[in-house]
Amino acid sequence: MKKLLLLLLLPLGLFANAPTSIMSPTVYDLTGILEPGQEVVSMITDEGKLAEFELNPDNNYLVIPTYGTFYYAAVADSLGNMSYLYLGPKSVVEEPLIQELPTGPTPVQAGLNVAGKGTAISWITGLTCFGIGVAVANSSSDPWDGLVWVVVGVVVAVYGTVASVIYGAAKGVQTSIRNNSDRYKRLQLANQGSGMSYVVEPVPLELIPEELRVPLLVGQR
């Protein structure tokens, strides 16, 4: 029975010795950052967790197995003087690329412009036909002779107005889509001047948030 129990627990023992993380360590190059005699004595992550680290003296690469978005490091020299570093991403904003695009009409303006022109043409044409019909009816012994022109004039005026309103609405939608596209282009051009880089910079102790400063100082080697 004991042998059977040991066989059942053996796989659990194997998993207990497995590494807790398979993520690659973060590496920062401290060449030109550390002066002779200085060494990193403590590191803290952005979540307030003490970070494991190892400095390779051959190439000044600081290897950090503990994951963090950014880190603060405490550095001490041979006399015990302390300084502090920020290691992490930094937003880089260059001169923005701005292209002035011509400001076109608003969707409402574009729609009203098209609908107004179409309505005006429809009514002018319709009234012209109506006038011709009235003139023909007055000059003819049969008043029905001008009826066709009158009917054509009314149809052109009414249906031309309806068609103009529909086309104006479609033109407004088209203008709205084009304006949104132009606005997106401006935004894309403005964002071309921004980026992200990773830096190692000296930072005064008082600028380190207190919730990170305390464990950083306590965790010094």
Mapped onto helix, strand or coil, the DSSP state of residue 50 is strand
Q: How confident is the model at residue 179 (pLDDT cuts 50, 70, 90)?
A: low
Q: How confident is the model at residue 219 (pLDDT cuts 50, 70, 90)?
A: confident
pTM exceeds 0.85: no
Query: What is the Cα–Cα distance from 78 to 118, expressed in whole angstroms?
Result: 87
Paired with 26 in beta bridges are 64
3-state class percentages of the chain: helix first, strand second, coil last, to nearest 5: 50, 20, 30
Q: What is the mean pLDDT of residues 55-59?
A: 88
Q: How confident is the model at residue 181 (pLDDT cuts 50, 70, 90)?
A: low
Query: What is the Cα–Cα distance from 30 to 39, expressed in whole angstroms?
Result: 10
- Distance (Å) of CA 60 to CA 19, 172, 219: 26, 63, 22
pLDDT on residue 80: 87
Q: How many other C-beta atoms can be found within 10 angstroms of the C-beta atom of residue 62?
A: 23
Mapped onto helix, strand or coil, the DSSP state of residue 125 is helix
DSSP character for 18? S
For residue 182, with 0-12 CB atoms within 10 Å meaning exposed, 13-18 middle and 19 or more buried, which class applies? middle
- Distance (Å) of CA 197 to CA 88, 152, 178: 8, 72, 35
Q: Tell me the backbone φ, ψ of residue 51, rounded to 5 degrees.
A: -100, 140
pLDDT for residue 104 is more than 80: no
For residue 2 the two structure tokens come to 């004991």
pLDDT on residue 45: 93
Q: Tell me the backbone φ, ψ of residue 209, rounded to 5 degrees.
A: -55, 140
- The residue ranges of every structural domain in the chain are 17-93+195-218, 107-192
